[in-house]
Structure 1
């Protein structure tokens, strides 16, 4: 038995070894293959001259005039100066299209591309997308340029070998290798889908490619996490499947054209799911539907978007990305959960870039002026009055219950409710007065709910809060 156990362990270990991909003996062949398509980028920007000796003497100092005269004698007065910056990029077509980061070329007057073979060419900016930090450049060469292809970033696995190449700290055409540390990282943008890697990425690597072992670009090196500005093995590359969609639009239109559903949303928490009767915390909860495609199609505040264009919605981040990646003008099927039942709504998407910064808040009708108060669930509530509208700078048509006080030891306070908040819905029903609110509390308790879903507005911005009914 003992020998049989040893044999079984040996076979199991051998099986594990056979499934693991061996570390490459060398990256030299890959580096030689892809190097000619990677470029160094130098930008030049005109910076306005100084208006005085800032940084030399304090403003108002008796020495200020002396140092100003010294600067003028040496030609350093208000003369504009040239500032340069370094970055990386890579060629994606033989006719000279080049990908880099938007922050590498942002505000540049001149863009100069240095190729691995040693020649330089000026570049024209075709278009940028600040949301994904991607820019597309074009150079005119007298011969076909060597280029690289994009790979499928969705097939990259945690632990796969990757190689980065670029212009770190101005050293030029430098290679580093590591593995995929994690997938699907988000930093700050709505469309973020970063590959995290421990391949060394430093200043100047921005805009350079992250290669898989087949020599395909699976990411654009964009950012690092570091306490000192240098690589500590936490770098981020925007996934190629995001980049390729952006590049296609920049090539065709010179700008991005993202789909727009026209709803405000928030994630479904466990408490919200329980409050509205969902089996699991999934989907995207609609908090507001301003004028736009969603309202025209019939989506309502309180709907939970479960699927979009045939794809399950896990959370708000996933929905925003999927909507943005869908063609403007396409009619899609949106499945929502409303009042415990699913409904399918056909929505024709608008364009986000056109609608952005022009989305007004929803404005319900007039509220009755009933100056009575209700103390419940750790809050003091009062219907909207003309005086409260003026104090809180509410719209003329705002209706609901104003939170006038919140007990600091209450669950309401822990959930972020504060004096001045406006509750417009309770239990997914509009509330115009005290009776409406108490009726929804009673209905939730009779239904065996442990919490009540509130739609709360602060400075016009809506959000849902699931408030416990257990006092």
Structure 2
């Protein structure tokens, strides 16, 4: 074998000494001119038993050929023992690259820049106010042929003037409505704009939230730049974060969301809309996306009613870890004169099913209740004193003041915003911009 250890050895039945190196037997003779210097190389490289006397009878030309073959064999043997890095099959890698490129090219035209001119007010120590006009820039995507755009309420909230940059053109926009709970905002191109050529992002109202490890691609105008793709994956699902309950199940991703990314769409590799970026998670280098089904509900609420519509159940439930029976959801509070009270719910009831869907934790419960409309009947099954009880709950509409109380969460943020131009935003072109 390569680099074998040479050691003296006494042969059985005689006094002759020999060298053993990967199977070398016998004492090497003095090398002949032009050939003998390769004996040891051959022996060490080939790793097989070699008789020195036999080699002495081989012509010089044959010896050279044997040496070359032995050296090559040794190299192959050495490489076989060294672990090699595994690389993707070339056709598969090329196919993946083409899929990502096609996804970006097919959807980049749907992603627009959203400009919002706002007025920031600051006070000095004497209480004197200073008014500064600033310009926020974010991302959005076209959600209808009539020019409706879904974006982030963090950009549009408190705006004095809105614009959309589409296909290199600045178009006046106006607010349709926003949801302070999910922070989704709907704006539209001003006037009776309509175009059959608008590239609309199709949102499946029945899509399930993507599973962890699903590969995702986001497209946004981060930092106000040209439409930029980022690739990552879903890393989990959350119903709460940092001690705060979320309105429905959010998908957590490792897609970074620098300033200007919120409002951008996220797609799975098959080209389907997976959700919209609604929050950045800089502590983990990721983001939250509102899943497609929830985004479709909020879009329809705002476009049809001008505001989000939420149902009120009038009870609170908590997760309980039972070592014997596993996780379960238990009712801990029922409000007086609430739909839950009228339906017969009691504190301590274990919720096991809602509308034929099994429930084992708050995540599943809130995922189901988010989509139940006011005045709809939700059929629950609860375990009470060891027995299954069927309860029918007719929901009511959540009071508007409760929804609006969440507006403090989307107060205008001017950190990092640029001073506004008197006549509105400019459209400087960078790499990747359309001409």
Deviation, 1:257, is 1.7
SS of the residue corresponding to residue 297 of structure 2 reads helix
- Which of 142, 150, 172 is 1:91 aligned to? 142
Deviation, 1:354, is 5.1
Match of 1:225 in 2: 281
**Structure 1 residue 31 corresponds to structure 2 residue 77:** no
Q: Take 2:130 and 2:177, find their aligned partners in 1: how far apart are those partners?
A: 31
**Change over 3 Å in CA distance of 1:343–1:210 after alignment to 2:** same
Contact 2:141 2:149 in 1 (8 A): yes
Contact 2:173 2:187 in 1 (8 A): yes
Match of 1:238 in 2: 290
**Structure 1 residue 197 corresponds to structure 2 residue 253:** yes
SS of the residue corresponding to residue 329 of structure 1 reads coil
Contact 2:220 2:229 in 1 (8 A): yes
- Which of 180, 186, 197 is 2:234 aligned to? 180
**Change over 3 Å in CA distance of 1:190–1:284 after alignment to 2:** farther
**Structure 1 residue 249 corresponds to structure 2 residue 301:** yes
Gaps of 5+ in 2: 1-87, 404-435
Deviation, 1:87, is 0.8
- Which of 244, 264, 268 is 2:316 aligned to? 264
Q: How many residues align?
A: 307
- Which of 206, 209, 218 is 2:262 aligned to? 206
SS of the residue corresponding to residue 265 of structure 1 reads strand
Alignment TM-score, normalising by the size of structure 1: 0.59
Deviation, 1:112, is 1.0
Deviation, 1:28, is 2.8
**Change over 3 Å in CA distance of 1:169–1:242 after alignment to 2:** same
Q: Take 2:337 and 2:209, find their aligned partners in 1: how far apart are those partners?
A: 39
Match of 1:112 in 2: 163
Deviation, 1:119, is 0.5
Contact 1:284 1:316 in 2 (8 A): no
User: Alignment RMSD, CA only?
Assistant: 2.8
Q: Take 1:347 and 1:125, find their aligned partners in 2: how far apart are those partners?
A: 35
Query: What whole-Å deviation, never above 9, does each CA across 1:274-329 have from its counterpart, x for those lacking one?
Result: 7xxxx343133233342211111221222222212222222234323322310111
**Structure 1 residue 292 corresponds to structure 2 residue 324:** no
Which is higher, the Rg of structure 1 or of structure 2? 2
Which one has more relative contact order, counting CA pairs under 8 Å at least 6 apart? 2
Gaps of 5+ in 1: 1-15, 60-67, 69-76, 358-471
Contact 1:289 1:300 in 2 (8 A): no
Deviation, 1:25, is 2.1
Q: Take 1:281 and 1:200, find their aligned partners in 2: how far apart are those partners?
A: 33
Contact 2:334 2:345 in 1 (8 A): no
